[in-house]
Amino acid sequence: MRAEKHLLHLFRFCPRCGSGAFAENDSQSKRCESCGFVYYFNPKGAVAGIVTDDNGRILVCRRAKEPAKGSLDLPGGFMNPAETAEEALVREIREETGLTVTESQYLFSLPNVYPYSGLDVHTIDLFFVCRVAPDGNLNPQDDVAECRFMPRDEISPDDFGLSSVRTGIERFLKMSPNHR
């Protein structure tokens, strides 16, 4: 049986002093035996927007890049430092679709693992239901190949490539069908 890799297995040197004596401290951290610096591997914040229109349809996007290239997704992405979740939601939806969020409501959160540059980035994905300005021009941009509004009854959670988004859309579809 293969031993599970430490979350920080790619981090071999202390980021404070550069020492190679950067060893496992516990399952979520490493400690430098030279200077005492401890680094914890905490989840990165991310947002996902469930954008609905007046007919109750949901905006879905097709991923243009790995991971899960070609699968369906919701608009969203990583939060930046000093940015609220709501600010990240507005920015990500504009960057990926060209649309402007006019209102949003927090729904729930789900953990996720997002493979990036050879590292499994653990995230906490915050899901929001939101509306966009009616005069917006839907235009796939950034890491989105295409986007469109789909009727709820045509959406299959299995078509979503990221596990948290798959679970999130499934959970949302089970909510009141009138939730907009």
Q: Which of 24, 66, 87, 146 is catalytic?
A: 146
Q: Exposure string (b/e) for 1-29, b if CB count within 10 Å is 16 or more?
A: eeeeebbbeeeeebeeeeeeebeebeeee
Q: How far apart are CA 51 and CA 35, in angstroms?
A: 48
Q: How far apart are CA 53 and CA 103, in angstroms?
A: 12
Of 69, 92, 94, 81, nearest to 45 by C-alpha is 81
CA angle centred on 73, ends 67 and 75, rounded to 5°: 110
Q: Look up 24 and say whether it is catalytic.
A: no
Instruction: Locate 158 and state its tokens.
Output: 């299995």
- Residue positions annotated with a catalytic role: 146
